[in-house]
């Protein structure tokens, strides 16, 4: 990666705070090492994350950020038009207006932070799970997802998550819980 940055050493937008060693991501491999065009880690168009439960809050769920990496382990630049979240944020609630914790914060690069204005938070609606989509106009080769859990109020972080690639579930499991001092990080490798 440029500048020697890796998911183990993420970019942070903290200003005036000493750099600390982030928690090492939990790594999960979800595919074999086949190198044909149909294997995971190759070209796909729609990536969906279903946020199935939180670490304890029954009303809200959120994440600090999500990063996608290509076959060369270079970060994929995700633009606003590639991202959709349902519900979009707490701003869908009648009594909320102008809350900065919107879905665009998922791709702002400020992932190892405790600043709420850099995170995404959404309500948990009855009989529905929150979902995040990455949709591309052309096939995109993604080899790794790095998911940074919500840190401001750790109980609002995602616990159980399901990841689908073009409607095929490729991962289902827990995202490590954050603390107020450390961000819980999950790394999902589509190929090793």
Supply 34's token pair.
Answer: 């086949």
Per-residue pLDDT reduced to its tens digit, 47-61 = 999 999 999 999 999
CA-CA-CA-CA torsion sign (178, 109, 72, 3): negative
Q: Which residues pair with 26 in a beta bridge?
A: 186
Averaged pLDDT for residues 101-124: 97
**pLDDT for residue 31:** 38
Per-residue three-class SS string for the chain: CHHHCECCECCCCCCCCCCCCCCCCEEEECCCCCCCCCCCCCEEEEEEEEECCECCCCCEEEEEEEEEECCCCCECCCCHHHEEEECCCHHHCCCCCCCCCCHHHHHCCCCCCCCHHHCEEEECCCCCCEEEEEEEEEEEECCEEEEEECCCCHHHEECEEEEEECCEEEEEEECCCCCCCCCCEEEEECCC
| More confident: 3 or 192 | 192
The answer, yes or no, to whether residue 39 has pLDDT greater than 50, is no
Confidence of residue 4 (pLDDT cuts 50, 70, 90): very low
The answer, yes or no, to whether residue 78 has pLDDT greater than 80, is yes
Return mean pLDDT, the chain: 83
Averaged pLDDT for residues 122-138: 95
Per-residue pLDDT reduced to its tens digit, 94-110 = 999 999 999 999 999 99
Averaged pLDDT for residues 150-173: 96
| More confident: 20 or 188 | 188
Is 123:90 a contact under the CB 8 Å cutoff? Answer: yes
Is 32:127 a contact under the CB 8 Å cutoff? Answer: no
Averaged pLDDT for residues 70-86: 95
């Amino acid at each position: 990666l440029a500048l020697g940055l890796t998911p183990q050493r993420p970019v942070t937008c903290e200003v005036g705070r000493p750099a600390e060693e982030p928690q090492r991501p939990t790594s999960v491999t979800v595919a074999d090492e086949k190198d044909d065009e149909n294997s995971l880690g190759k070209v796909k168009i729609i990536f969906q994350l279903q946020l199935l439960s939180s670490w304890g809050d029954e009303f809200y769920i959120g994440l600090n950020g999500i990063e996608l990496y290509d076959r060369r382990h270079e970060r994929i630049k995700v633009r606003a038009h590639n991202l959709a979240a349902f519900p979009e944020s707490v701003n869908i609630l009648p009594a909320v207006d102008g809350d900065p914790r919107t879905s665009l914060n998922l791709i702002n690069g400020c992932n190892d932070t405790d600043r709420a204005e850099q995170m995404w938070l959404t309500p948990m609606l009855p009989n529905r799970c929150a979902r995040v989509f990455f949709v591309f106009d052309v096939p995109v080769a993604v080899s790794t997802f790095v998911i940074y859990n919500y840190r401001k109020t750790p109980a609002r972080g995602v616990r159980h998550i399901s990841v689908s690639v073009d409607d095929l579930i490729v991962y289902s499991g827990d995202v490590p819980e954050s603390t107020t001092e450390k961000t819980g990080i999950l790394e999902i490798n589509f190929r090793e």
